[in-house]
Amino acid sequence: MALPGIYVSIPFCAQKCTYCNFRSDVYSRALRADYLRFLASEVREAALPRAETLYLGGGSPSLLEPDEFETLARALPSHAWREATIEVAPGEATPQRIAAWSRAGINRVSFGVQSFVPEVARAAGRKHDGETVRAEVERLDAAGISNISVDLIAGLARQTWASWQQSLAWLEQLGPNHVSIYMLESDDDSRLGRELRSGGTRYGASEVPAEDLILDLYLHALERLQDLGYERYEVSNLARPGAESAHNLKYWRMEPYFGFGSDAHSFDGEHRWSNAASAPEYVDRLNRGDPARVSTERLDSERLLEDRILTGLRTREGVRCSASEWERLRANAAALTERGWLVAERRRLRLTDSGLLFADQAIAELLG
């Protein structure tokens, strides 16, 4: 079995972005201190086996001061990581923080840029511009951290075709190894999403591009990035050859991973389990002496197949089926193949470009 990955949740932010649907927020310093203390204890008590990837997500792990970060790092396994990623909000990569990351073995940074254009970034709750990101990329490179990923979102308030071109031009200038392109999600877990669903105008909801423009922005970005030599290896992720996210591939390939902190999830090949959803709930549980874990599920063969399809078909490599799995799926696969959404070769299934646009629907129809 592949060596596991480790995910550490740092659900703290300097400001809550309008589009964010994660369980993160602007919490008090007192809660942050308690959370980090319990988080370090949870990691130490797990007696982790050797792992090959580390991912610090959130929230904004880059918000942690060097002493806070180093206390957490001491609780983690001490060895050279194949890949160790920290999510960074532009403006937070100070020299002191970068030095702490480097000492802890961080070798990859994922910048949550979303837009390089100040007007669009401000509407989303961010305060950076392209020069902010450029300066921090150069600072990271000088410290020996040159594996950079950048996130962009198509569909933010005040975004236009022209401003999207500006963001793509910044990407071309900076030349990160990895890029994630997302379309704005309209759900009830973000302030902007709730406003859009209720027909309101707050948080820039009245200035969000139309759905057909959002799709055009997304498709244009994929095309331009592939012209620049990036390879699309997952629905929303592109990388230069060899720079795919080793940690995220564990999720999509159903390899083991262990999560720590609030709203963290784990999978050992047979069981899934999850922790308390919010930072206050997580701290309250551990303060009472209760475990962080709130649910555990053992996956039978049917559920394992469903999860393999759900995660694997998001990737270019797709999923290889056993003979019995193929017998169960072949009729639905044939219908999706005829529609042009799926390719089936020797029991390996993968979605076409058209299928990836409708991945959720295609996967649901395949599973029946």
- CATH number of the domain residue 164 falls in: 3.80.30.20
pLDDT band at 127 (very low <50, low <70, confident <90, very high): confident
Rounded to whole angstroms, the Cα distance separating 128 from 181 reads 18
Number of domains in the chain: 2
Residue pointed to by tokens 């792992």: 51
Q: Are residues 175 and 118 in the same domain?
A: yes
Q: What is the mean pLDDT of the chain?
A: 93
Looking at 192, 224, 252, which one is the last position of a domain? 252
CATH number for the domain harbouring residue 355: 1.10.10.920
Residue among 58, 69, 156, 151 nearest 110 (CA) = 151
Structure tokens at 358: 């409708």
pLDDT at 21: 67
Looking at 227, 252, 277, which one is the last position of a domain? 252
Element (DSSP H or E) covering residue 350: strand 348-351
- Calculate mean pLDDT across residues 83-87: 98
Q: Are residues 233 and 313 in the same domain?
A: no
pLDDT at 24: 65
In contact, 69 and 94? CB cutoff 8 Å: no
How large a percentage of the chain has pLDDT more than 70?
98
With a cut of 90, say whether residue 173 has pLDDT above it: yes
| pTM of this structure | 0.95
Give residue-wise pLDDT tens across range 176-228: 999 999 999 877 767 777 887 888 888 777 888 999 999 999 999 999 999 99
Q: DSSP 3-state assignment of 27? A: coil
pLDDT at 186: 78
The strand pair at 108-114 and 83-88 is best described as parallel
pLDDT band at 80 (very low <50, low <70, confident <90, very high): confident
Rounded to whole angstroms, the Cα distance separating 65 from 157 reads 31
In SS3 terms, 283-323 reads as HHHHHCCCCCEEEEEECCHHHHHHHHHHHHCCECCCEECCH
| Structural domain containing residue 358 | 300-368
With a cut of 80, say whether residue 252 has pLDDT above it: yes
With a cut of 90, say whether residue 1 has pLDDT above it: no
How large a percentage of the chain has pLDDT more than 90?
82
With a cut of 90, say whether residue 317 has pLDDT above it: yes
pLDDT band at 84 (very low <50, low <70, confident <90, very high): very high
Q: Which of 14-18, 294-298, 299-303 has the lowest mean pLDDT?
A: 14-18
Rounded to whole angstroms, the Cα distance separating 41 from 38 reads 5
Q: Are residues 195 and 314 in the same domain?
A: no
